């Protein structure tokens, strides 16, 4: 595709922000408690809470007992003075040189040895923090914040948890912690955590250290000295032992979060929903960092026994040195937690392998792309947030153009087979396949077809209550079930005596009962409905058009588009039939898939309109923000790199529409906004969308 770029404005577009670069983009401005989301409800909550805190009687904390000074101890202290200790990181890449102060070391050693256990008091009156959820006064004992550098250090004991809303960068300084199945160890890079109101709150769980022979006192002193003031170091040193984990929490602001929060309806996306306001802890050292801890009344991710057993079974199978790769298909009805289970499974597998292949088969709730896509990706980094926080370009992608495949089942199955064929058969990495929540009627037949077409080794079927809400997809059922395209194998009484008879297809079936709150029901709170989640993913993709540095958010109508000649690309519609003379009207101000046709596009001087939707690779998406018929140009906004954009020769229009907030918040439009009108009536014949169903046959008409 021949592309001419208009004269770029300053800061017109930027490449997508990578996780490994988010630390350089974090906000360094000090954030106070008063800078939390300023809704009337939140302001009232904060004022009431602060008033209640002021009324509480002040309790003087116990101080450590004064240590007697003897000649022998003075001599012992002298031996540590001005001594330099070299601490090697666990990855062996660097060393940290620190001066260990004698008083700090002796104080830590005395208090550390006197600690008897979680929730117990030592002989000198120092009380350790009990295990379980961190909440209330616990934060004042185990967390310290550096106001100048705007970060906090949190000490957690083994099995303690931190459940929160918000976003932050987490670095493990000592020990290990686990987030959504992924283990973060000391010496690793900072990881971004996203816990928005649209999904279950994230939980950080302390795992402790694996090295019982390490000298925790000297290491802890060196670590804390890098991040805290001397007074804060002393308060936290007494909390650290061999079972402790020390994490660094920093505020995080990216082009994604700035773009999303610039819309009025999404300004409180990373704040607790109304149902959790009474459970929010508002007076901790973490609040000013963009985090709001939650008390134990609010549940994080709840895993049932069958949930954990399924995870362990799949991980064990992947770790075995058997022939062939493990192919896991995850299925179940709507709202049973398939996407969450897959994220936990991928994160857990990343603790043991460097990459996992992921085949997206759910058109409505995609993981790495805007909705309406089928894709094949390789996952190499943990997924520590909902789908809209990790939008990325897959290795292979097909734009189906709808959130459901009920109008064209054949195209869906052909797309799945095409994606699987693009995966190298020699690869031995595990494969995870996501499926739709449509598990009845033709949806069940589609599941049967996928099982027969792909070499699945494990089927994880999620349900809730006493049933799976569809037939249990065991290997025995597959021998008799009717698919949409496939039929059960024919058997005769002589099969078992025939030499050429192939054995029945087999795989491991794992039934999982979801036990989280609200299972089986669509979220009723703000940002939790399925259409809102789809809009968040699309907005997150478009946020890649923003500047990566801390600059002002620019609305899409302020960005400089590409100029694409009509003769360079073909344009088509995937989801319905549109008269060729009306295609450009339908495509204007819409989302289009940027695709590649194997044959060359030929034009007689005008726009090239496709008569049907082709099955072709898609490299990304763009907004067709304008069409100039006089000059024969499309004006296209897209974050796709120009080197890839040159190969695009097809624009596909689907049923995935732009979020209304993009059109209603256009900058510089004081009066009437382009493409927005309220003078429209759906009562007129033909005013609504016409849907064409392909391949759907009523059961009573089968065989006629």
Which pLDDT score, from 0 to 100, does residue 51 have?
A: 55
CB 275 within 8 A of CB 517: no
Q: What is the mean pLDDT of residues 423-430?
A: 90
Strand order in the sheet with 608-609: 4-5, 562-565, 633-637, 618-628, 590-595, 650-653, 570-573, 608-609
Name the one residue in this structure whose structure tokens are 């940002």.
527
Q: Each residue of 345-389: pLDDT tens digit?
A: 999 999 999 999 999 999 999 999 999 999 999 999 999 999 999
Which pLDDT score, from 0 to 100, does residue 40 have?
A: 52
Which pLDDT score, from 0 to 100, does residue 2 have?
A: 54
Tokens of 321: 């040195």
Residue 321 CB partners (closer than 8 Å, separation 6+)? none
Name the one residue in this structure whose structure tokens are 């349900």.
463
Which pLDDT score, from 0 to 100, does residue 109 have?
A: 44
Residue 397 CB partners (closer than 8 Å, separation 6+)? 369, 373, 374, 375, 376, 617, 618, 619
Distance CA 662, CA 84 (A): 58
More confident residue, 37 or 236: 236
- Average model confidence (pLDDT) across the chain: 80
Q: What is the pTM of this model?
A: 0.80
Q: E strand or H helix at 51, and its extent?
A: helix 40-55
Q: What is the mean pLDDT of residues 435-464?
A: 93
Coil, strand or helix at 460: strand
pLDDT band per the 50, 70, 90 thresholds, residue 675: confident
Which pLDDT score, from 0 to 100, does residue 142 have?
A: 92
Q: What is the mean pLDDT of residues 470-493?
A: 84
Name the one residue in this structure whose structure tokens are 């690779």.
617
Helix, strand counts (H, E) of the chain: 16, 26
Which pLDDT score, from 0 to 100, does residue 127 have?
A: 42
Which pLDDT score, from 0 to 100, does residue 31 have?
A: 40
More confident residue, 93 or 353: 353
Distance CA 257, CA 260 (A): 5
Query: Residue 426 has what DSSP assignment?
Result: T
Q: Each residue of 159-197: pLDDT tens digit?
A: 999 999 999 999 999 999 999 999 999 989 999 999 999
Give the ranges where 576-698 is alpha helix by DSSP (H). Answer: 583-587, 642-645, 660-664
For 211, 366, 446, 468, 624, the CA distances from 342, given in Å and listed in that order, are 31, 12, 20, 18, 34
Coil, strand or helix at 156: strand
DSSP string, 510-573: EEEE--STTTTS---STT-SHHHHHHHHHHHHHGGGS-SSS-----GGGSPPEEEEGGG-EEEE
In this model, does residue 74 exceed pLDDT 90? no
In this model, does residue 73 exceed pLDDT 90? no
Q: Each residue of 610-658: pLDDT tens digit?
A: 988 899 999 999 999 999 999 999 999 999 999 999 999 999 999 999 9
More confident residue, 476 or 218: 476
Distance CA 129, CA 138 (A): 7
In this model, does residue 83 exceed pLDDT 90? no
pLDDT band per the 50, 70, 90 thresholds, residue 59: very low
Q: What is the mean pLDDT of residues 428-441?
A: 93
pLDDT band per the 50, 70, 90 thresholds, residue 401: very high
Q: What is the mean pLDDT of residues 263-270?
A: 92
Which pLDDT score, from 0 to 100, does residue 57 have?
A: 41
More confident residue, 360 or 212: 360
Distance CA 403, CA 400 (A): 8
For 23, 254, 544, 619, the CA distances from 549, given in Å and listed in that order, are 11, 8, 12, 25
Distance CA 318, CA 67 (A): 55
In this model, does residue 312 exceed pLDDT 50? yes
CA angle 689, 694, 695 (to 5 degrees): 150
Q: Each residue of 568-616: pLDDT tens digit?
A: 999 999 988 899 999 999 999 999 999 999 998 888 888 999 988 899 9
């Amino acid at each position: 595709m021949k592309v001419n770029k208009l004269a770029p404005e300053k800061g017109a577009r930027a490449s997508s922000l990578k996780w490994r670069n988010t630390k350089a983009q974090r906000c360094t401005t000090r954030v106070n408690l008063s800078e939390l989301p300023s809704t009337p409800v939140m302001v009232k909550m904060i004022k009431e809470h602060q008033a209640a805190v002021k009324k509480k009687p002040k309790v003087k904390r116990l101080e450590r007992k004064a240590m007697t000074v003897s000649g022998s101890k003075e001599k012992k202290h002298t031996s540590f003075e001005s001594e330099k200790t070299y601490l090697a990181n666990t990855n062996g890449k660097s060393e940290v040189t620190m001066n260990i102060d004698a008083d700090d070391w002796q104080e830590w050693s005395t208090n550390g040895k006197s600690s008897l256990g979680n929730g117990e008091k030592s002989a000198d009156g120092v009380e350790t923090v009990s295990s379980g959820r961190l909440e209330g006064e616990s934060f004042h004992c185990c967390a310290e914040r550096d106001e100048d550098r705007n970060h906090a250090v949190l000490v957690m004991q083994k099995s303690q948890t931190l459940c929160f809303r918000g976003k932050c960068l987490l670095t493990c300084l000592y020990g290990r912690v686990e987030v959504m199945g992924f283990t973060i160890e000391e010496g690793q890079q900072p990881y971004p955590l996203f816990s928005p109101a649209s999904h279950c709150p994230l939980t950080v769980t302390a795992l402790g250290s694996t090295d019982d022979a390490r000298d925790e006192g000297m290491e802890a002193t060196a670590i804390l000295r890098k991040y805290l003031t001397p007074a804060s170091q002393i308060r936290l040193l007494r909390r650290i032992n061999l079972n402790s984990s020390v994490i660094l929490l920093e505020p995080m602001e990216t082009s994604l979060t700035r773009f999303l929060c610039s819309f009025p309806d999404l300004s409180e996306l990373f704040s607790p929903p109304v149902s959790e306001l009474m459970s929010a802890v508002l007076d901790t050292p973490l609040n000013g960092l963009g985090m709001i801890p939650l008390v134990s009344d609010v549940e994080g991710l709840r895993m049932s026994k069958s949930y954990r057993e399924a995870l362990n079974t799949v991980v064990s199978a992947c770790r075995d040195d058997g022939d062939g790769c493990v192919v896991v298909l995850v299925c179940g009805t709507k709202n049973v937690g398939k996407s969450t289970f897959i994220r936990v499974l991928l994160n857990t597998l990343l603790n043991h392998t460097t990459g996992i292949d992921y085949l997206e088969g759910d058109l409505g709730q995609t993981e790495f792309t805007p909705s309406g896509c089928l894709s094949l990706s390789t996952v190499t980094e943990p997924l520590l947030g909902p789908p809209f926080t990790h939008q990325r370009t897959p290795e292979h992608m097909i734009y189906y153009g709808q959130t459901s495949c009920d109008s064209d089942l054949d195209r869906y199955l052909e797309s799945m087979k095409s994606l699987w064929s693009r995966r190298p058969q020699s690869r031995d990495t595990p494969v995870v396949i996501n499926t739709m929540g449509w598990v009845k009627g033709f949806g069940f037949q589609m599941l049967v077809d996928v099982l027969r077409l792909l070499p699945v080794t494990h089927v994880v079927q999620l349900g809730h209550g006493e049933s799976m809400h569809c037939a249990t997809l065991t290997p025995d059922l597959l021998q008799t079930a009717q698919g949409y395209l496939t039929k059960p194998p024919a058997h005769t009484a002589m099969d078992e005596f025939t030499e050429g008879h192939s054995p029945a297809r087999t795989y491991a079936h794992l039934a999982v009962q979801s036990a989280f709150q609200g299972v089986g029901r669509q979220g009723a709170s703000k940002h939790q409905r399925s259409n809102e989640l789809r809009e968040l993913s699309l907005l997150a993709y478009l946020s890649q058009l923003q500047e990566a540095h801390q600059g002002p958010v620019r609305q899409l109508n302020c960005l400089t588009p590409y100029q694409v000649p009509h003769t360079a690309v073909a344009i088509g519609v995937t989801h319905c039939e549109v008269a060729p003379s009306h295609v450009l009207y339908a495509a204007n101000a819409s989302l289009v898939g940027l695709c590649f046709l194997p044959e060359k596009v030929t034009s007689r001087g005008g726009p090239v309109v496709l008569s049907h939707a082709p099955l072709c690779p898609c490299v990304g998406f763009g907004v067709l923000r304008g069409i100039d018929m006089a000059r024969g140009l499309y004006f296209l906004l897209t974050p796709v790199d120009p080197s890839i954009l040159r190969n695009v020769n097809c624009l596909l229009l689907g049923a995935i529409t732009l979020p209304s907030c993009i059109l209603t918040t256009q900058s510089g439009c004081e009066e009437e906004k382009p493409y927005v009108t309220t003078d429209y009536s759906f009562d007129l014949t033909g005013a609504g969308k016409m849907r064409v169903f392909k391949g759907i046959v009523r059961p009573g008409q089968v065989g006629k």
